[in-house]
Structure 1
Amino acid sequence: MSATTQTASDAPATGTVDAGEIAKFEAMAAEWWDPKGKFRPLHMLNPCRLDYIIAQVAAEFGRDPDQPRPFEGLRLLDIGCGGGLLCEPMARLGAIVTGADAAAGNIPVAAVHASQSGLDIDYRHATAEALADAGEQFDVVVNMEVVEHVADPLAYLTACRRLLRPGGLMVCSTLNRNPKSYMVAIVGAEQVMRWLPKGTHDWRKFITPDELFALLRGAGLEPVDRKGFVFSPLAWSWSLSDRDLSVNYVTTSVKPVD
């Protein structure tokens, strides 16, 4: 099996894409699979993200995550897929995976790694709007750490809703906006720990959980869950929390069946 790619013509420069945000991630594309590189925070967070995504998809579609390839037959889109850190494990679980990113440099990195791993993943240089306009639809949309980087969150989430089949599920994570998130995500991660280059995030674009739920409803989705991703410096690991959504958090929403 091998990964396939589609490139620049699929990704218009209009819509909700923020060219400045894309340029930041283009510059870091080659480092996606280096667990000690610029994407170290995502490598650390990934097991926690996956646990949440797997649990939500399994519950929504009545799948047993302890079975081999439990998501067989489900079509899944990872929008803003980067180097494929979520695409690959979801493909191993049986999902038919498409990974899309507006940063062209991420796509060959992701495709080469998937090919080397023997995984068949459809990688595309494309935006959510372009995929929706093309009539693409999925059972699951995975939308992680993207909404805080777009120019128009409501228009972007509306495009994501269009990408879901009726009854489909979207998992969306982002960063809360408060003094603590500024200290942790901007001062701590970018300036002190230097886990990310300075300027990776714009705190003004962070979205509170209530704001995100309102945006999801405005986009025509039904929010059904939200949890926090909490980092423990003592354990040097991430965990899910029902109560602490103060910095990183994740939501699940579904597209109503008309």
Structure 2
Amino acid sequence: MHHRGSATIRSLVLGAVLVAALAGCGGGAGKPDPAAVSLIGDANRQMQKESFHSSGTTTAFAGARQETWWDPAQGLHIEVTGGVSGDVYCKDGTSYTSADLFAAALNRRGQQVTVPPELRSVYVTTKTEQGCASYFSIPVTGRHATNEDRSIGGRKASAVRVAGKGAEDLYFVEDGTRRLLLLEARRDGRTSSTVYDSFGAQNPITLPVAEKTMTLEAFRYRLGL
């Protein structure tokens, strides 16, 4: 039982590492800002219930770009291109990450991983503790940065700042619809900008076939981790 429990914990921890690498959230600390609680809650609920597309640069990997499609019924698809390439899918709290991208996320955290050729087409499955929306939700520790409020494409937006060690993210939420319009992130000396659009559009998302998936535990075993 202890071994299985430890494996589950490792799965959740490594899943969290991947979310942290690809999501905008820098974490943040401290008590929630009462002035921002309603704004963040409204934005997160709106983004979870409506399909959207986003694209831009990313702080996850140097020189990379990231594009995301979300559909509440079909799930999430993230495509990373540039210095590192790969895909992440997520449905019902389970993430499917292409092996090379998963290894790149671990390498960035200091764990050196080399994927053998026979596993490069595999998708590693992990449980995402906070669900698929954790890839785009605004952390509840955000604070309303009133001095950063501005218009984006002619739409008035309120700024939410999430700050953590070596990281700061600014989320811009449209005042009327509570849609997330823009994310500007700074992390470990890198900056990125992500634009959100195509709200309500159809986003066909096809998960990897079962034959191309592998649990994190099996993946670790094959790599000798």
Q: Same fold (TM over 0.5)?
A: no
In terms of fraction of residues, the more strand-rich structure is 2
TM-score in terms of structure 2 length: 0.31
Which structure is richer in relative contact order (CA contacts within 8 A, separation 6 or more)?
2
In terms of fraction of residues, the more helix-rich structure is 1
